Amino acid sequence: MKIVVTGGAGFIGSHIVDRLVEEGHEVVVVDNLSSGRRELVNKSAEFHVRDLKERDWGVGIRGDVVFHFAANPEVRISTTEPSVHFNENVLATFNVLEWARQTGVRTVVFASSSTVYGDAQVLPTPEEEPLRPISVYGAAKAAGEIMCGTYARLYGIRCLAIRYANIVGPRLRHGVIYDFIMKLKKNPNVLEVLGDGTQRKSYLYIKDAVDATLLAWRKFEEMGEPFLALNVGNVDAVRVLDIAQIVAEVLGLKPEIKLIPTTPDGRGWPGDVKYMTLSINKLLKLTGWKPAMTSAEAVRKTAEDLAGELWR
């Protein structure tokens, strides 16, 4: 099968590409290398440097399935520069769907996010909870899901939206674990923690995320629904202060922890969801998938992985 992976030079996308290649698929990577890295693109994949914000990005590119993973994943940027997220996450997704419609793609697997729920009333949050994002990033993902669902019902392109928790592991270059390591590299004596440190969220190791994504996709291909949204994450969570502790321990440091208040209710930044865990019952029922690592194990293993990559 020919599979196009947008964002295949980035963190999650490159791991997905490696697995698809391993499984014998013909893989085409599309990435503009804005945050992705050429060296992460699997040598057996065809690689096109293209910008999905361009209407004609897909000229000459064909696939049976597209994994649409390209995006700007930084929630903080979406608060300070909403237009970046409109362009990278809404317009780019629209352009991918248009290309899919025009070239006869059968299935779109869309990288959505737990941020579509906003401050959810129910934790762990099931897929049926309303989408009430509190960040422009979350809104862009919700808009992407709604567009995907509409293209599925209107044009017959089937769409699986995966609502990821925080996915972590080797090659990651954003998010709290990466930020802490980079801050400690600059100053090993003090670690600034944004918010009140009690933010508590679900973390999932990349191998678990790739396993879940591919199991979900294969199951979806056997099903009749035009559109399906599935959570992929851990049902347990870790506090930001505990992440600070784990990262410091892994690096063999004892920094002074300095809390930096940013919102009156202790969030990391405006638009940050403070508490997030996801119900994975739907995916469990469909595929039997369960994470192999807890949130805390995923954070520790990632701190070790990234220390190996960055702590020189």
Is residue 31 near ligand NAD by the rule CB under 6 A?
A: yes
Residues that bind ligand NAD (rule: CB under 6 A) add up to a total of 27
Nearest approach in angstroms of CB 5 to ligand NAD is: 10
The terminus-to-terminus CA distance of the chain in angstroms comes to 41
User: What is the Cα gyration radius of the chain?
Assistant: 19
| Nearer to ligand NAD (CB atom), residue 169 or residue 197 | 169
DSSP annotation of 278: B
**Single residue of 48, 58, 66, 69 touching ligand NAD by CB under 6 A:** 69
- Contact track, ligand NAD, 101-130, x by CB under 6 A: ----------x-x-----------------
**Single residue of 71, 109, 216, 276 touching ligand NAD by CB under 6 A:** 71
Alpha helices in 116-205 (DSSP H): 136-155, 176-186
Distance CA(148)–CA(303), nearest Å, equals 35
Distance CA(258)–CA(98), nearest Å, equals 47
Half-sphere exposure of 53 (CA within 13 A, CB side): 11
Residue 123 makes CB contacts below 8 A (sequence gap 6+) with 275, 276, 277
Tokens describing residue 183: 């801050």
Nearest approach in angstroms of CB 296 to ligand NAD is: 16
Q: Among all residues, which ones are annotated catalytic?
A: 137
Which segment (25-33, 121-129, 146-154, 235-243) binds ligand NAD by CB under 6 A? Answer: 25-33
| Nearer to ligand NAD (CB atom), residue 71 or residue 251 | 71
Distance CA(304)–CA(28), nearest Å, equals 31
Residues at the interface with ligand NAD (CB under 6 A): 7, 9-13, 31-36, 51-53, 69-73, 88, 92, 111, 113, 164, 166-167
